[in-house]
Structure 1
């Protein structure tokens, strides 16, 4: 057996594998013996089929299969052993590959086209200046977060008179054309109304200042602008039947409840940050500001890596790639989309490939390694961020660990977490290596950078 690599140019090569009968015959014979033991041929007991018949029935297929196994093993073994930096997969050569006949040939030459990664150097130092954007945490952001905590700790109190955004509970009854309760008509006990969410202002106004035991007349179809889902939910009917109920209904008020936001207290401080961790409103607000700032670091690092990408791609310039070969690889990977798709997306894929190669160099140069502990920590941080969206900052450790472990059970989740762990470590390393042009921007300004 002989494996050799011939460079065609700087970014493509021809890999040749020469196989002789001695390279594969022993494995072919072993496979044929296994076939003989399992073969179910009429007229022969299992394991007693003549080898000549087994070879006649299965010889060609077994020979082809074993040669392909050896071929794959030797091709990738050579690439790994000789550290050939290839792009995509080796492809059978379309011009020089000799015709293969497994029936008559014992010696074979297999030729593969290899796309080679271009040679370049991705370097960053303190002589390189890259923008780093810190999102300003405003008092308004802190106020909104405080409000979300006080609202979450709030409660509904019964009150005597309706005000905007209060909730009403009572009896709904369908009325006839004379305004009397319709015999056999719709009646809904314990119906809940929030007039503030009605779409018609005149209908909303009907409930202003109403009290317990008041009987009001309104029109659900008008109040909700004919929206089937809301009307069907209120009247407890199917959406298809809504069009049949365009008349008035009465509503007898049985209860008026008002949401009352909680006052900031030690109880809320303890719920959010743990018992005794915060004791004053000033400390509470400072902690919230710190928590929001921490959440923004990931966004800032993401933008930083995008800017590093642009900086290095401009610095390195346009790289040479084996276009025809890469388009063959793309077409092979997107056979269902065809050649037009490849042509339309080739330049974009080269841009992504260039950044991938640059990032690979940066990861290697900065000795970025991701351990299992890093993946678990990223999963925990992702879980904490999810809970934080609902104002839950003091999540128990066992709950965080359980959610993280569930994420780690899914292959696609693990791949995403590994990538996030790599990028987090890479951002940290590159921030220390480059000169940062620190800029503080508003959330609005930051978001506009992605438009």
Structure 2
């Protein structure tokens, strides 16, 4: 066997593989002998079928199969040994007058080569790193939410503004029959609200779904309809009232503080608000970091220039999926994925240049931190190390979880690299200001 490579240019090459009879004949003979031992052909005892008949019936298929196996193994080994960084997979070139009846075969493959380039983390204009904080209005709303959550429900006979009305939404044609507890404040428009204010248990209220709530997603929750249906739903529904309750807010006292944060951890309303701000800062910190990742990614794509083997990649995209694409479809798919491919290459270069790696011990510690955070959300503040180790071991025994966590950890390492190397400008904003500035 002989393998040679012709470099067309810096991004494209053709690999030529010559296979002779000596390379494959032994493998083919072995397979045919095994076929002969197990062949069941009428008129012959098992294991006594003439080899000529076996070759006539199976020879060509076995030859093609063994040569293709040999070809793939040789090509993969060559790419590894030559340390060729290829994009996509090698594409076989069509060859005229190819004949499986010959003893020697020549195969050619097109290669798309990864470009050589450098990545700089230096930027003249600073990138904004948002430090997102909870504004006073958000803190006050969160205090009220906690008071409602831990408050009492007081049964009432007649519904008033601010009450909760429990009942059943119904529309037989649409298959809607959903029990719901509906805060009157959620209802949109005075006309609709007036139908609920003054209602008593047993009353039947008829309303239109269109414009019933500020957010159509509330229809999903209260009427239990699917997402796509909720956005276009425009029907009348009957709401049969079963009970009315007033939400009495919990007192902002030590009993509530201890329920929320543990005995003696918070002792005043001021400390409660500080705690809310602290928890919000942790949550918003992730959003600020994610935006930083996005902005640095855009900067790197914009500033890191290199060519790609575009024609090769379009040809590869044509045949890479389950269904073969047309040239136009492949071109469109390439244009959609080019930006992502460019950043994959940039990211790979950064990881290599700065020797970033995910070690198993790092991954295990990262997994335990995530588990600890999730347990804290359910009130388990101090789990034992053995429990964390056992859960982490179960998670890390699954390949999909290892892949997901490894990607998250590498993103974290890249984020730390950006914070150290990139020219950043910290900007403190409330969450509302952040949304307005970034998304609007």
TM-score range relative to shorter protein: 0.7 to 0.9
Q: What is the alpha-carbon root mean square deviation over aligned residues?
A: 4.2
Q: Secondary structure at the match of 1:220?
A: strand
Cα deviation, 1:166-202, whole Å, max 9, x if unaligned, reads 35689xxxxxxxxxxxxxxxxxxx9988766777857
Provide the rounded CA distance (Å) in 2 between the counterparts of 1:166 and 1:70.
76
After TM superposition, give the deviation of residue 75 of structure 1 in Å.
0.9
Contact 2:24 2:66 survives alignment (8 Å):
yes
Q: 1:340 to 1:274 in 2, by over 3 A?
A: farther
Larger Rg: 1
Provide the rounded CA distance (Å) in 1 between the counterparts of 2:378 and 2:279.
11
Unaligned residue ranges in structure 1 (runs of 5+): 171-189, 234-242
Match of 1:444 in 2: 432
Match of 1:174 in 2: none
Q: 1:276 to 1:34 in 2, by over 3 A?
A: farther
Match of 1:187 in 2: none
Q: Does residue 117 of structure 2 align to residue 123 of structure 1?
A: no
2:327 to 339, 354, 365: 339
After TM superposition, give the deviation of residue 446 of structure 1 in Å.
2.9
Match of 2:141 in 1: 144
After TM superposition, give the deviation of residue 77 of structure 1 in Å.
1.3
Provide the rounded CA distance (Å) in 1 between the counterparts of 2:432 and 2:331.
37
Provide the rounded CA distance (Å) in 2 between the counterparts of 1:299 and 1:192.
32
Provide the rounded CA distance (Å) in 1 between the counterparts of 2:141 and 2:54.
78
Q: 1:353 to 1:209 in 2, by over 3 A?
A: closer
Q: Does residue 339 of structure 2 align to residue 351 of structure 1?
A: yes
Provide the rounded CA distance (Å) in 1 between the counterparts of 2:180 and 2:112.
70
Q: Mean Cα displacement is larger for which, 158-167 or 26-35?
A: 158-167
After TM superposition, give the deviation of residue 298 of structure 1 in Å.
2.4
Q: Does residue 66 of structure 2 align to residue 57 of structure 1?
A: no
Match of 1:260 in 2: 248
Match of 1:303 in 2: 291
Cα deviation, 1:368-423, whole Å, max 9, x if unaligned, reads 222445556666666777789xx756567489889878876876555443322211
Match of 1:286 in 2: 274
**1:149-298 equivalent positions in 2, closer than 5 A:** 149-158=146-155, 162-167=159-164, 205=194, 220-221=205-206, 257-298=245-286
Aligned length: 407
1:133 to 127, 130, 135: 130
Q: Secondary structure at the match of 1:25?
A: helix
Q: Secondary structure at the match of 2:127?
A: strand
Cα deviation, 1:20-41, whole Å, max 9, x if unaligned, reads 2222222222222332233222
Provide the rounded CA distance (Å) in 1 between the counterparts of 2:106 and 2:314.
25
Provide the rounded CA distance (Å) in 1 between the counterparts of 2:28 and 2:96.
22
TM-score (norm 2): 0.76
Q: Secondary structure at the match of 1:221?
A: strand
Q: 1:222 to 1:164 in 2, by over 3 A?
A: same
Match of 1:111 in 2: 108
After TM superposition, give the deviation of residue 259 of structure 1 in Å.
1.6
TM-score (norm 1): 0.74
Q: 1:273 to 1:106 in 2, by over 3 A?
A: farther
Contact 1:135 1:441 survives alignment (8 Å):
yes
1:312 to 300, 303, 323: 300
Contact 2:363 2:409 survives alignment (8 Å):
yes
Unaligned residue ranges in structure 2 (runs of 5+): 168-178, 213-218, 224-234
Contact 1:5 1:16 survives alignment (8 Å):
yes
Q: Mean Cα displacement is larger for which, 398-407 or 415-424?
A: 398-407
Q: Mean Cα displacement is larger for which, 131-140 or 402-411?
A: 402-411
Cα deviation, 1:45-72, whole Å, max 9, x if unaligned, reads 3333332222221111111111111211
Provide the rounded CA distance (Å) in 1 between the counterparts of 2:333 and 2:240.
62
